[in-house]
Amino acid sequence: MHKKDGKVEAQKGYVIHTYPYKETSLILDVFTEQYGRVSIVARGARRPNSAIRSVLLPFQLLEFSWFGKSELKTLHKIEWCGGVRALAGNALISGYYLNELLIALLPKEDSIEPQFFWTYHHTVKSLADEIFEHSAIRYYELALLRSAGYGFHAVIEEHALPILPEKTYRYRYEYGIGLHDGVLTPLDFSITGELIQVLSKGDVIEKHLRKEARQFLAWLLKFALPEQHSLQSQVLIQKIYALQD
């Protein structure tokens, strides 16, 4: 990949949303490895005989080349990189949830940690393969929060004493962790030491911790999401995974 005179070549990315543009074109909201979210116009993509219509699929790894110095770039070339099994059912709803969170928390052309792109990639693959999808979604949420400046691990690392799995703690937003003293404010979440250990190590979230992990991440996300912002897929995904806990 290189950039010269506003031209970017061979940038890996995913289509996370599309919008009709004029009579025959599409605007692509693309999540890329090195440029974050980028708006790219795909001219003629809505024509019945367009060669790229079959390539512009969500949740498939693509390679984009574009040009332009304004916020709206122009697609020059797109190639399929070999994808995963198409998402369906609950996995598809979960995929839409990943994309909605990304759009809500990651501004366009904002710098990102390069590894977060691959977190998205591996989360999509986990959903397609139906492997540890509960854990994959929770760690995706944590990684996105970290990229957006809402860290969890930094708070854990600042806690001077060992976290004991059998204890219950009070996680105070942006302040730190303390033993649960029975008094909680809206800025506090009651969390078990076991879940803290699991999340801090990146271990698989076992079934008995799924509900607590889901509620904890939903609580963290409400601080990060723009005020009055609602995710259409969030209620659905919460119900789906609640039934599986």
Digit-coded pLDDT (tens) for 146-198: 888 777 765 665 566 788 899 999 888 877 788 887 888 888 999 999 999 99
Q: Is the dihedral of CA 188, 194, 197, 201 positive or negative?
A: negative
Segment 73-80 mean pLDDT: 93
CATH of the domain at 145: 1.20.1440.120
**Percent over 70 (pLDDT), the chain:** 87
Quick one: pLDDT at residue 29?
96
**Percent over 90 (pLDDT), the chain:** 48
The reply to whether 7 and 73 lie within a common domain is yes
The reply to whether 152 and 177 lie within a common domain is yes
- Whether the pLDDT of residue 1 is over 60: the answer is no
Q: Among 125, 124, 86, 101, which residue's Cα sits nearest to residue 234?
A: 101
Q: Among 68, 61, 79, 66, which residue's Cα sits nearest to residue 122?
A: 61
Six-digit token string for 121: 């990639």
**Residues 6+ positions from 70 with CB-CB distance below 8 Å:** none
Segment 230-242 mean pLDDT: 63
* Interval 85-138: pLDDT, tens: 889 888 898 999 999 999 988 888 777 777 899 999 999 999 999 888 889 999
The reply to whether 108 and 221 lie within a common domain is yes
Domain count, the chain: 2
Quick one: pLDDT at residue 99?
93
Q: Which DSSP helix (H) or strand (E) runs through 172?
A: strand 168-172
Six-digit token string for 191: 């969390």
CB–CB of 220/150 below 8 Å? yes
DSSP state for residue 85 in the 8-state scheme: P
Single out the residue in 36, 61, 80 at which a domain terminates.
80
Token pair 């080349």 is found at 65
- Whether the pLDDT of residue 45 is over 80: the answer is yes
Quick one: pLDDT at residue 112?
76
The reply to whether 37 and 145 lie within a common domain is no
DSSP state for residue 173 in the 8-state scheme: T
Segment 9-23 mean pLDDT: 93
Q: Which residues pair with 13 in a beta bridge?
A: 32, 62
pTM: 0.87
User: From CA 36, how far away is CA 103, in angstroms rounded?
Assistant: 11
The reply to whether 123 and 219 lie within a common domain is yes
Q: What is the mean pLDDT of the chain?
A: 85
Q: Provide the domain limits for residue 54.
A: 3-80
User: From CA 129, how far away is CA 148, in angstroms rounded?
Assistant: 28
User: From CA 6, how far away is CA 88, in angstroms rounded?
Assistant: 37
